[in-house]
A and B are shown apart, each in its own frame.
Chain A
């Protein structure tokens, strides 16, 4: 089975800190995605990547950046964490061939910014 692993299940950070959320997938998927999940808003796309060194803005990229130096790893970076970035963050991946069968998700990182 494809596995998408997010390094932290819970994270507490202070306002202004630089925060790294890590995601690793083990099935050689080309496409990777970062979403945030908030009550009443569902999942919203932050950034995505179709290949190494490639990144595209999603619907809510402000305050975030990403890095994809290796195919299996996609990092979400909060340059200066703010309280309104307190949320659940979900990483997902999908292969280039078969992307239309849906995503495989990690189990999420619940980030609290205090």
Chain B
């Protein structure tokens, strides 16, 4: 079974600065996908960024980028030029592409990010 660990329960950052959220995972699979989801106070889960395990290149989406280290099973999220609207709970998630847990998202514990003005 896969496990996803987010070791930072809470983080804070000043507006316009950069912050990195950590995520590690454990799997014996070789083909999988990794995600970061954002959950603001409205509770609506929003997909922030997606990484395919077989791609070496790190995914980027505007101010959001990841550092994907497959051998280390690490998948951190970097938020540049932080904005007040980035304040939310962030979840790291793993999606297996095969095997018995195919198609099921496994989530980490979440990190609460607060952006201060």
Q: Which residues of A contact B37 (CB under 8 A)?
A: 102
Q: Total interface residues on B, using CB and 8 Å?
A: 24
- For chain A, give the interface size range: 20 to 34
A41 touches B47 (CB 8 A): no
Interface presence of B105 (CB below 8 A) = yes
Task: Name the prevailing secondary structure of the A interface residues.
Answer: strand
Using CB atoms, name the residue of chain B closest to A9: B43
B43 touches A108 (CB 8 A): yes
Using CB atoms, name the residue of chain B closest to A35: B107
> Within B39-98, which residues are at the interface with A (CB < 8 Å)?
42-45, 47, 50, 91, 93, 95, 97
A107 touches B107 (CB 8 A): no
Residues of A participating in the B interface, judged by any CB pair closer than 8 Å: 31, 33, 35, 40-45, 48, 50, 58, 88, 90, 92, 94, 99-103, 105, 107-108
